[in-house]
A and B are shown apart, each in its own frame.
Chain A
């Protein structure tokens, strides 16, 4: 779905037409493993499912550059072999399809070794033309007409069924800039329900007036957050 002349939502990703950039939200690879360490033996999610979903997205757009919005992997502590392999598998898949720009997330404190292995630099933020890409856990001192963030993992639910959550994009304002919040690319979790939970990112103020685009089988415009109540 086109949300401006240059910007389109393709499944869970954002696409910048002019720059041929594909933006992918927080992936949190290894979330299951971190849960195992706490005693929740959740079966591992097959990373191939992630790749299949990405393949489908790439088939819909011509991509030169890929921006990963941070929190590519989940664990704060040590990286296990499996996590290492899964992350590399995704990175290699993406590298075959374009240049990767890695943005630092709050879970990425030790993503270094993995990115290093593929000679990727981790940036605190990235700006191209009038668009700024930043993870969103803290505000960076950089102005831009459009700001894109991850971190929030936005999802919505409806009063009739509070237990059913749907991933969504949010479109609103931060000061004088347009703000786009992109959903997580973790397929095990839906995200945090912005209709009932507090927002995390300091970029998001006045969430009631954010526009909601729900992503399911297709992308649907759901009007403003305040209309959902």
Chain B
């Protein structure tokens, strides 16, 4: 059962449970309990599972540690502290040493100081075990266990497989998962959920689980994720106690009729003004490229103001550089730091009094998380300014602001039934100990992420691990686990299994940067995901220069200089965050309310008043929003919204475009567009071009397309089947398959002491996918790749919902013809990412190419041998 704690506990009650040393230390150091502590400490002391949700800087980490340190000190003073691990703390952040220092080592040292005063000496040991922990440290820990282990999800999976550590961990009493919201939404979290259940199997009884989370929704789901199936959990919800001061700002009055140069100049002026008015500012830009650009421009435009006091922070920078910036920030040496998304999470970054978001953060939770980085203390007001880049951005951010103020947080997506992670964990379980088939299934089903796991999928993963897809003779090569079908027992196989597990554990695919070259000359690097979207002759920007993509081989992209053509694909695409479905729905609702006003012929003032009241924006922004809608309404007499999909036809450059105004976010549009393109292709028998963004998608072709007919024929019951076929040949499926093959250890990134380059993995995964298909199109790892693409990367569930609503008439379809794209279609056509949907099969394609060649050369000249 999941229950919310309604009332905080009383200060005196909590003080009563604290050991005198701990009590003295706490009162000296803090005096008062913070709100999360009032809610949480007593519950943890009573070993109740608890999820504490509170903004950054609200001392939730100490909430968890206080009760645990208290217990350890009590045991220690009573001489009852044994050589075993009492608590394990897991965080997704790799650089944990500072956190440990601040939250554990220092407090413990201070408590020890008090103990000494009373003639006692504490012997509590705390240990850090991450991927960076040295071999000697690890050895020390396995000789003499620490009492509180600080770890990452990957290292936790390692230690619960190590025989020594398993002995030390049999009596674990507490398990803390920090930043649980950031883990639950990806495969790292799925992996962790199974590790925790493995730990539970080891202890034989329940231990206290503590989850610490930032603002996230729904909390019930996160709580269930934390405790697993069937366990109860309490929730301490202090998410919204921090005061927020939020505003959306337009750099210019008119976001459409202002030149790029002017808008850019005004944007930097605005940023500079804001920065100068505050002590320390943190700017989020969404992408690495933009981060570099903003730093560069600020330095260039205001050389006297910005030099050593400005820093860039993003994932492509070296670890040292990032640490350097973080340290300087904490020491107050920086006036402004610009980052992509990298400073969203946890680490203490010192005093920030303003957060600027350049462009939409795409979800309410992320918006709050970022803005929460300012005003670090709980009682301080968090101050955030969102600077919008265009009119779609303006509407999106304004609606987001409304949702943030009205506390409507988007729903988190927790991946389910991931078969690749399952394979890796079963491998680990088998290495650690022999286990019966039934017990294994029960263990896995305890995890919330595997609640709905089908027995048949479980079996197929076991078949894969037992090498049953190959002949008996080859099994010694392929089998990863030992299985006796008679007795149902499962265990380790092969001398190398432990070392393979240790060197290949985890769920994060290898860094995948593609080298861009002209001939042999290296130009720079792009993301693998970006390469995925490039097709021949696409023009993109890298390091300020334009290049035309020619072809890729392995992890090298060959390009040539392209001075004259404009970019066809925005270079930040692969980093682009998708709009959350819930926020999309809110924007759709706003569009509908606006359309009603226009249909009722409300005058300009009335409508602007409505915007003003509904959206919490200033007059300028309200006016800009009005103008945008007015243009759209005057032009096509339709405003697409949450209950109306507008299908717009127009032609340009000898091509026919069909634009679908579906404001459901890119994850949904990815599904809707591919399914529609597939059906259009079936009717027309030719490949079509696709463009997708958060607000809709388009399909383009030189031929006539029966797009409306295709969309009408798209039925929710057929969606799975259609998408399975539609994905079959895509680069994205191949790429995700490589990741899944890595996670399920079908491709080992490290084997017999040799680490493989990603390019090598890529080439081999092509062979692997075709070999696997030969065995079965439902091979567990292939099935998982498909699930990952459809459910995690894309959003097939909400797409299905939309189609159902179209089927039952809740969403109406309107068709319009335009000469030039309507205002709402403009950004989509300009910047949507582009893909080609392949309809023809391999043989048809070859035949067509042959016809083309025949026509081209006339085939007159015969070469004689």
A54 to B536, CA, bound (A): 37
The 9 lowest CB-CB distance pairs between A and B, nearest first, are A39-B751, A39-B748, A4-B865, A40-B764, A223-B857, A196-B551, A43-B771, A211-B863, A158-B849
A178 to B471, CA, bound (A): 45
A17-25, A66-74, A134-142, A160-168: which lies at the interface: A160-168
A residues less than 8 Å from B477 (CB atoms): 33, 36, 41
> Does A217 lie within 8 Å of B853, measured CB to CB?
no
Within 8 A of B (CB), among A193-229: 193, 196-197, 211, 214, 216-217, 220-224, 227-228
> Does B853 lie within 8 Å of A227, measured CB to CB?
yes
A186 to B845, CA, bound (A): 22
A159 to B548, CA, bound (A): 14
> Does B857 lie within 8 Å of A227, measured CB to CB?
yes
**CB proximity of A7 to chain B, nearest CB, Å:** 6
A3 to B772, CA, bound (A): 37
A171 close to B (CB within 8 Å): yes
B residues less than 8 Å from A3 (CB atoms): 863, 865
Residue of B nearest to A227 (CB): B857
**Residues A178 and B747 in contact in the complex (CB < 8 Å), given A41-B478, A43-B478, A220-B850:** no
Q: Can you spell out 27 A-B residue pairs with CB atoms less than 8 angstroms apart?
A: A3-B865, A4-B864, A7-B865, A32-B771, A36-B477, A37-B752, A38-B751, A39-B747, A39-B756, A41-B477, A41-B745, A41-B746, A41-B747, A41-B748, A42-B764, A42-B767, A44-B471, A158-B849, A159-B537, A160-B836, A160-B849, A162-B535, A162-B551, A188-B770, A193-B553, A223-B856, A223-B859
A14 to B392, CA, bound (A): 61
A211 to B859, CA, bound (A): 11
**CB proximity of A170 to chain B, nearest CB, Å:** 11
A88 close to B (CB within 8 Å): no
> Does A38 lie within 8 Å of B551, measured CB to CB?
no
Within 8 A of B (CB), among A26-52: 32-33, 35-45
A residues less than 8 Å from B863 (CB atoms): 3, 171, 211
> Does B731 lie within 8 Å of A44, measured CB to CB?
no
Which one of A35, A216, A217, A221 contacts B767 once the chains associate, using CB atoms below 8 Å?
Answer: A35
Interface size of A by CB at 8 A reads 45
B842 close to A (CB within 8 Å): yes
Q: Which of A159, A161, A188 has the most CB of B within 10 A?
A: A161
Enumerate chain B interface residues (CB-CB to A < 8 A). 469-471, 473-474, 477-478, 535-537, 550-553, 558, 687, 729, 731, 745-752, 754, 756, 760-761, 764-765, 767-768, 770-772, 774-775, 836, 838, 842-843, 845-846, 849-850, 853, 856-857, 859, 863-865
Residue of A nearest to B477 (CB): A36
**Residues A197 and B553 in contact in the complex (CB < 8 Å), given A160-B687, A228-B853:** yes
A189 close to B (CB within 8 Å): yes
> Does B470 lie within 8 Å of A222, measured CB to CB?
no
**CB proximity of A185 to chain B, nearest CB, Å:** 16
B residues less than 8 Å from A164 (CB atoms): 842, 845
A106 to B579, CA, bound (A): 54
A40 to B761, CA, bound (A): 8
> Does B865 lie within 8 Å of A38, measured CB to CB?
no
A180 close to B (CB within 8 Å): yes
Residue of A nearest to B755 (CB): A39
> Does B551 lie within 8 Å of A223, measured CB to CB?
no
A residues less than 8 Å from B775 (CB atoms): 43
A215 to B764, CA, bound (A): 23
A146 to B545, CA, bound (A): 48
A82 close to B (CB within 8 Å): yes
B residues less than 8 Å from A178 (CB atoms): 865
> Does B470 lie within 8 Å of A43, measured CB to CB?
yes
Enumerate chain A interface residues (CB-CB to B < 8 A). 3-4, 7, 32-33, 35-45, 82, 146, 158-164, 166, 171, 178, 180, 188-189, 193, 196-197, 211, 214, 216-217, 220-224, 227-228
**Residues A217 and B536 in contact in the complex (CB < 8 Å), given A44-B474, A160-B687, A223-B853:** no
A13 to B610, CA, bound (A): 76
**CB proximity of A28 to chain B, nearest CB, Å:** 12
**CB proximity of A9 to chain B, nearest CB, Å:** 11
**CB proximity of B427 to chain A, nearest CB, Å:** 12
A221 to B550, CA, bound (A): 25
A residues less than 8 Å from B771 (CB atoms): 32, 42-43, 45, 188
Which one of B553, B729, B747, B760 contacts A196 once the chains associate, using CB atoms below 8 Å?
Answer: B553
A214 to B478, CA, bound (A): 35
**CB proximity of A44 to chain B, nearest CB, Å:** 6
**Residues A163 and B474 in contact in the complex (CB < 8 Å), given A39-B748, A223-B859, A227-B857:** no
A211 to B853, CA, bound (A): 12
> Does A40 lie within 8 Å of B865, measured CB to CB?
no
**CB proximity of B297 to chain A, nearest CB, Å:** 36
A202 to B374, CA, bound (A): 65
> Does A40 lie within 8 Å of B768, measured CB to CB?
yes
Residue of A nearest to B478 (CB): A41
Residue of A nearest to B863 (CB): A211
**Residues A196 and B558 in contact in the complex (CB < 8 Å), given A39-B747, A43-B470, A227-B856:** yes
A125 to B175, CA, bound (A): 70
**CB proximity of A163 to chain B, nearest CB, Å:** 7
A38 to B756, CA, bound (A): 8
Residue of B nearest to A173 (CB): B863
Which one of A43, A160, A171, A196 contacts B772 once the chains associate, using CB atoms below 8 Å?
Answer: A43
> Does B558 lie within 8 Å of A166, measured CB to CB?
no
Q: Given contacts A159-B537, A161-B845, A163-B729, list 18 more A-B pairs with CB under 8 A.
A: A3-B863, A4-B864, A39-B748, A39-B751, A40-B747, A41-B746, A42-B767, A44-B471, A45-B774, A82-B474, A160-B836, A160-B845, A163-B731, A166-B846, A171-B863, A189-B767, A197-B553, A221-B859
**CB proximity of B316 to chain A, nearest CB, Å:** 27
A11 to B328, CA, bound (A): 68
Which one of A43, A160, A217 contacts B469 once the chains associate, using CB atoms below 8 Å?
Answer: A43
